[in-house]
Amino acid sequence: MSKPCYYALGGLNLKQQFATSCPQQSDRLQYLAEEHLPSRYFNNEEFKKHRLDLLHGNWPTGCDMCQQVEEHNSGTSMRQETPPDTRWTDYGTGTTRFEGLKTIEIRFSNSCNMACLHCSAAFSSGWMTKLKRYQPDEIDREHRLIQLTQDMHRKHIDEKLRIELDTKMALEIVDDLIENFPNLERVDFAGGEVLYQKPFLPTLRRLAEHPNAKNMFVMFHTNFNADFDPVHLNDCLEKFGSCEVKISVDSSPKIYEYFRGGSWEKLTSNINKFKAVRSKKTKICLICTTGVYQIMQFKDIIQGFLDLECDFIDTSIIFTPNYLNPALMMLDYRKFTIDQLNSSIALLTKYPRQRRDVYTAYGSIKDVYQYVTNHKVDPKDWIAFKEYIKKTDKIWKQEFNNYFTNFQFDKEKNRIYKNV
């Protein structure tokens, strides 16, 4: 059965050093060190082959995340979210005309002011700093702690061709988009942390010169824990048709410092300052990337999100590494996990359904419930998770037990138990 995809037929994703068709697709389709202007590689042989695989009903090797979601019925995959525009693609050759490029995501570099526990050195310079003097040992390799061995996202790293998109290169890419891709309708920015990176605001200002800017949707992913001028940011965003600020929070106020390494107070302050000056066409979405840590505090996380009173609440699932998969909680704490998710849904009933954050939270929580109650996990990964806590606590110089009050970890007995 054919699997036409909006992103494969009309998308680009610039992952610092190479290009793919979408944020989740991991096969290298073009090295940016060899050519960074989209017009010169949009229809190279790799891109055309990728499109033809999907059009012929086959999953390309880099599309495993959408494949997992669809095969496990755990929500809506990125491929299913947006209907593809097939007008510009030749089904015989896989060639898409320039008019068919609709969406692009740009990642300048891995430069980031935080080192979140579910991330890796590939996407966070904060992680690189943490691991600078760390030597992986046999325990890391035995339990496949791929974040610590730096094998996570290894397929995203090729040191010989590793580059960062500096301001000059980023502006050249935007100029190419302005000149050659008139129907561009969506531009996403991700990191690292874009508000911590110099090219971001100059790139936004240049992008506003695109002929379709007034109809364009611009979104950026951020931790919103960097220093920035909210008025200047709004001035850059209001040139576009609509905008969304996607804030990765992933934590309750209790565990935010532990999990993300930032300040909840600064997050709250930045959100409130930006809400006070933003235009009506700019929305704020709070995201919970859901893994084992999050299930332990899920109701508190949702409460924290509701207290921030933003426009949308969304969730995503940590599929890899396996030792952070949220379904692991079902091994020893099945009842607790189900109670956390059900009580989070019950919490929403206390708020007006007309609130968009409440309305969107319903579906997001149900997606998590569907996944954790149906996904099969390996008990070895639960053991690996406990080893991961030990190692990261030591490297990060923090203590799990000081933040998670409903669970405690006896590191000598290697047992996580629930407080009564």
Give the CA count within 13 Å in the CB-facing half-sphere of 294: 31
For residue 11, what pLDDT is reported?
96
Question: Under a CB-based contact definition with an 8 Å cutoff, are residues 375 and 71 in contact?
Answer: no
**Do you know the residue count of the chain?**
420
CA distances to 38, 110, 188, 222, 380 from 246, rounded to whole Å, are: 25, 17, 10, 6, 34
For residue 160, what pLDDT is reported?
61
Give span(s): CATH 3.20.20, the chain.
125-418
Calpha distance 198→261 (Å, rounded) = 22
For residue 176, what pLDDT is reported?
97
pLDDT(279) > 90: yes
Question: Under a CB-based contact definition with an 8 Å cutoff, are residues 407 and 418 in contact?
Answer: yes
What average pLDDT does the segment 278-285 reach? 96
pLDDT(290) > 60: yes
pLDDT(360) > 60: yes
Q: Identify the band that residue 161 occupies on the pLDDT scale cut at 50, 70 and 90.
A: low
- The whole-chain average pLDDT of the chain stands at 94
Check if CATH label 3.30.390 holds for domain 125-418. no
Q: Which residues contact 298 (CB under 8 A, 6 or more apart)?
A: 290, 340, 341, 344, 368
pLDDT(163) > 80: no
For residue 154, what pLDDT is reported?
61
pTM reported for the whole predicted model: 0.91
CA distances to 23, 76, 118, 130, 334 from 396, rounded to whole Å, are: 28, 35, 13, 7, 29
Calpha distance 202→184 (Å, rounded) = 19
pLDDT digits (tens, 9 = 90+) for 241-270: 999 999 999 999 999 999 999 999 999 999
Calpha distance 214→141 (Å, rounded) = 51
Question: Which element (helix H / strand E) includes 111?
Answer: none
pLDDT digits (tens, 9 = 90+) for 42-91: 999 999 999 999 999 999 988 988 998 888 877 789 899 889 999 999 99
pLDDT(239) > 70: yes
pLDDT digits (tens, 9 = 90+) for 86-136: 999 999 999 999 999 999 999 999 999 999 999 999 889 999 999 998 999
Q: Identify the band that residue 162 occupies on the pLDDT scale cut at 50, 70 and 90.
A: low
Report the sign of the C-alpha dihedral through residues 9, 10, 15, 16, in that order.
Answer: positive
What average pLDDT does the segment 217-224 reach? 98
For residue 16, what pLDDT is reported?
79
Task: Please count the other Cβ atoms lying within 10 Å of the Cβ belonging to residue 272.
Answer: 12
Helices (H), 16-56: 45-55
Give the CA count within 13 Å in the CB-facing half-sphere of 124: 21
Q: Identify the band that residue 38 occupies on the pLDDT scale cut at 50, 70 and 90.
A: very high
- Percent of the chain's residues with pLDDT above 90: 84
pLDDT digits (tens, 9 = 90+) for 15-32: 878 899 998 887 889 989
- Percent of the chain's residues with pLDDT above 70: 98
Three-state secondary structure call for residue 286: strand
Task: Please count the other Cβ atoms lying within 10 Å of the Cβ belonging to residue 276.
Answer: 10
pLDDT digits (tens, 9 = 90+) for 175-211: 999 999 999 999 999 989 999 999 999 999 999 999 9
CA angle 129/36/214 to nearest 5° reads 100
